[in-house]
Structure 1
C-alpha cells in the first residue's frame, strides 16, 4: 500500500467491529441528468424525507416502490428497507482505473434501495421472494440501467442510521486490487472523520465479486448536507483522498442522497 501527500493526512479512522447483517443494494439510473454535479449546485437542495422529487420519472418510481417496500419488510429475515434519491454526483475519479473484470459502468445511480437482512444467510431467500422480483421489475421499467449487489460489512466506524431523513453517501469503487483499496480506506476515512465530520460509515464488499464490477461500496450519513459539501471543496479531498485512491489503483464515484422512505 502506498500513502502519498502525507502533509494532508489525518489519523487513521477509528473502527469498531463490523455488522453481521447481509445487504442487497439495488441502484438504477432513471433521470440522472436532473442531479447536480457540482457541490455549489447542491447547496440549497432539500433533504427532507418523502416520495416528492424534482424528477417526475423518479416520483413515479417511488410511488411504485412504496407498497413493495412494505411487503419486503414483512419478510422473515429482513430487518430494514430504505430508499434514497441522489442530490449530488460528487467529484471523483470514475475514469482513472477501469473496473476489475468487464461490464462496469460509471456509477450515476439516481436511486438506491438498500435492504438489510438479519444475516448473509437470508440473502438467497430474500432474492427468491415475489416482492423482490416486483421491486426489480419496477426499477427496470423506469430505468436505463440497474445494478444489484449482495454485500457484507467488512469495516465500520459506526452504524449508518437509514431509518430517518438525512444526507447519505454511497461511494462506488472500481479497484484493480481490492485489498489495496481496503487498506488505504483506513487513511482516507480518517481524513473524512477529521475534515468532513464523518461520524459513521459502513464499508461493504460484494459476496460474489464476479457478479459486479464494483469492488467496494461505502455508505455513510450526516444530519445536514454542509459538512459533506465542505469536505468535497477542501483541497485535501483532491490532494489526499483522490490522490491516494489513485495511487492504489482504484477509482472512486461518490454521490450524496436524501432519504425517501
Structure 2
C-alpha cells in the first residue's frame, strides 16, 4: 500500500471480512494487523518480506484449511488485498513450536519474523533447530513470553514465520535487543553461520 488513506480503507474492509470469517466453526481467530516498522533487508532476495498489512486466520486444524479458503469472505479478503497491493503472499502453515499462545484480544507490539534460506539449502526442520537455539536469548533478553512458530505446509518463499507479541513500545523493545552485545555476537552470528535470513516486521492491531 502506498497511501495511508488507501491503507485505512483497506484495513476497514479486511476487518469486516475477518468478522465474517470468525462466524465459521472451523475458524478460531481472524486478526488484521497494520505494520508500524519494517526494517530494511540486506542481501539479494527474490521475495523480501515487506508487508504493511497482515491477516492471520487460525483454524481448528489444518484439515479445515481448504474449506476456509473457499469461503466467500476469504475469497473477498484475498481479492481486496490483491486489488490494493503489488505484493501479496498467502501461506498455509502449521504451528511447529509454541512457547505460549499469542494474545490477539488486546493491542500490543506484534512480530511477524519471516525466515528465508540464504542459499536455498536450509529446509524447515533445520530452520526450526536454529530458532530453538535462539529462542532462549529472546526470552531472557527481551522479556518474550509467547511465540507461535509457523511452518509452511506447502511450497513457500519462506521456511518459517515466527509470530509473537510484547506488551511494550518500539523504543523499549529496540533497546532490549540492539543494545545487547550478544545480539550481534550470538543471534546474528548464528543466523549468518546457518545461512538463514531474518526479515522481521512489527505490527499493531488494525
Partner of 1:83: 32
Contact 2:15/2:32, CA 8 A, preserved across alignment? no
Moved over 6 A (4+): none
Contact 1:168/1:258, CA 8 A, preserved across alignment? yes
Pairing partner for 1:65 from 14, 30, 45: 14
Partner of 2:176: 231
Q: Secondary structure at the match of 1:257?
A: strand
Partner of 1:244: 190
1:105-254 superposed matches below 5 A? 105-175=47-117, 176-178=121-123, 179-208=125-154, 210=155, 212-225=156-169, 226-234=171-179, 235-254=181-200
Which stretches in structure 1 are left out of the alignment for 5+ residues? 1-29, 35-54, 99-103
Question: What TM-score do the two structures reach when normalised by structure 1?
Answer: 0.72
Q: Secondary structure at the match of 2:98?
A: strand
Question: What TM-score do the two structures reach when normalised by structure 2?
Answer: 0.91
Which stretches in structure 2 are left out of the alignment for 5+ residues? none
The Cα of 1:94 is off from its aligned counterpart by 4.4
What do you get for the CA RMSD once the two structures are aligned? 1.7
Highest RCO, 1 vs 2 (Cα 8 Å, sep ≥ 6): 1
User: CA–CA distance in 2 between the matches of 1:138 and 1:232?
Assistant: 35
Count of residue pairs the alignment pairs up: 200
